[in-house]
Amino acid sequence: MFSKSLVAGPIARTTMILSALALAAGALTVTQAFAADPGVSDTQVVIGTTQPLTGPVASYGLAYQTGMGAWFDHINAQGGVNGRKIKMIIYDDAYQVPKSVQYTRVLVESDQVFATVFQLGTEANTAINPYLSEHGVPNFPATNSGNFNDPKKSPWTMVPTGPTNADAAQIMAKDVIARYKDAKVGILYQHDELGKEYAEGFKSAFPAGTKFAEETYETSDTSVDPQVIKLKNSGATVWFLAAATKFAALAVVKADAIGWKPQIYAVQQATDAETVKAMGSAASDRLVTYQTIKDPKLDQYKNDPAISAYRDVLTKFRPNADATNPRIYEGMAEAKLFTDMLGTLKGEPTRQGLIDAYRHIKDYDMGIYIPKFEARPGNNMLGHAAVLARWNGSTFQAYGDVITTN
C-alpha cells in the first residue's frame, strides 16, 4: 500500500507501510539496553532509503522498491516484528549523489528514521557514509565496494551483499589458476577506482612476481580497439575483462574480429543482458562471470523452496510485478534480513542492538543469494563467496563449487 505526499518542497516522498514473513531466520538474541532511539515507538519502526526510481538505473531502484515493499507488507499483515509494524520512507534520488546526500539528511533529521536500508550506488554511499556514522544511524548499503569494509572507519555499516569487487575478481582468478596453469593473462580495466579495485583483486590471487599484460581505458574513450590489439599481441590466452557495458561489448566484438579468442573472465558490469546481447556470437562459450544471486528465470531455480516462498509473497502483495526479476527478489531478501535481525532484539529496539545483530550473523541463508551470509571479525561485508557461470549462448550456466574468498 502506498501513500504519496510532498515533503520539503520539491522532494517527492513515497511512504510505505510494508512487511515480511521470515523464511528460516537464523535465530540469535542480542542483549541491549532499553532506550527509545529515533524511529521507534510502541507500534512501529520507521526506516528509510533513497533509490533511483527515475534516471539511468531506475530499473534497479524500482525493483528494490517493489521487493522490499512486498516483503514488509507481508510481515505487517501478520502484526509486524515483535508487535511493531515497519514503515519505510523512500526518496527518489535519480542516481544523483547530491540528491542522495540531501534526502539522507531529510531521512535522519526530519523523518527520524531508525536505520537506512539498501541505498544504491558506491558513489552515493561514499558521500553519505561519514554522515550516517557521525549520527550513529545503522546503514546497510547496496554496494560491493570495499570502501565500506572497515568497521573502524564505518562502525555503523554492514554491507548485506558481497563479495567485494576485489574478492569477486579474486574468485575468478582462483578458477583461472586451477584451470589454466601457467597461462599468460591479459587485463583490460576501466581507469577509475572501480576498475582498479577489480584489477588489484584479480592479481592478488597469483603468486608474487606474476606478469600480466595490462591495458586501461577512460570512460570518455570512443573505442578500445588499440588496447585489444595490444592484448592480443601480448600472447595472452586468458583475458580478465573489468570493463563496463558498452566498453565490454566493444572489446569482445573487436577481439573476435581480429581473431583473438582467449578465455574471458568478465565482471558483472560486463555481463548484463543488454551487453551480452551486443556481443552477439563473439561471446560464444568463452565468457565466464561470477554469480551470487539465483536467477528465477532459470529452470534450476524454478522449484527452489526459497524462490517459491518469495514468489508467493510477491504474487499476493505485488500481483503485477515481474516474478522473474532477480532484483525484486534481492529487495525482498534484504527486507527479510532486516526484519529477522530486528526480531532478535528483545525489549525496546536500539540502533546499537541492530548493528550488533548484523555483526553476529552466522550461516544465514538469504534464500536468493547462493552463498550463505556470515559476519567476519574486522569485516563489514556479509557475503564472501560466489559460483562461476559460463555463457552458453542463451544464459549463464553455473558450474563448479561455491568459491570462498580468503
Full DSSP string of 314-358: HHHH-TTS-TT-HHHHHHHHHHHHHHHHHHTB-SS--HHHHHHHH
Using a 10 angstrom Cβ sphere, with 0-12 exposed, 13-18 middle and 19 or more buried, the burial of residue 136 is: middle
The domain limits of the chain are: 2-161+299-375, 165-291+388-404
Cβ atoms of residues 187 and 217 within 8 Å:
no
Give the predicted TM-score (pTM) of the model. Answer: 0.82
pLDDT score at 263: 97
Closest CA to 86 of 66, 106, 97, 72: 72
Fold of 165-291+388-404: Rossmann fold (3.40.50)
pLDDT score at 27: 40
Residues of the chain below pLDDT 50: 1-35
pLDDT score at 307: 96
Whether a cis peptide bond, with omega within 30° of 0, leads into 163 is: yes
Q: DSSP assignment, residue 282?
A: G
Cβ atoms of residues 147 and 166 within 8 Å:
no
Residue with cell 570495499: 146
In CATH, the number for domain 2-161+299-375 is 3.40.50.2300
Q: What is the Cα–Cα distance from 197 to 242, expressed in whole angstroms?
A: 10
Which residue(s) pair with 116 in the sheet? 48, 139
Question: Is 2-161+299-375's fold the same as 165-291+388-404's?
Answer: yes
pLDDT score at 77: 98
Q: What is the Cα–Cα distance from 352 to 30, expressed in whole angstroms?
A: 10
Q: Which three cell numbers stand for residue 3?
A: 501513500
Give the DSSP per-residue string, 393-404.
SSSEEEEEEEEE
Residue 114 three-state SS: coil
Residues 6 or more apart in contact with residue 167 via CB below 8 angstroms:
146, 201, 381, 384, 405, 406
Strands 11-18 and 2-7: antiparallel
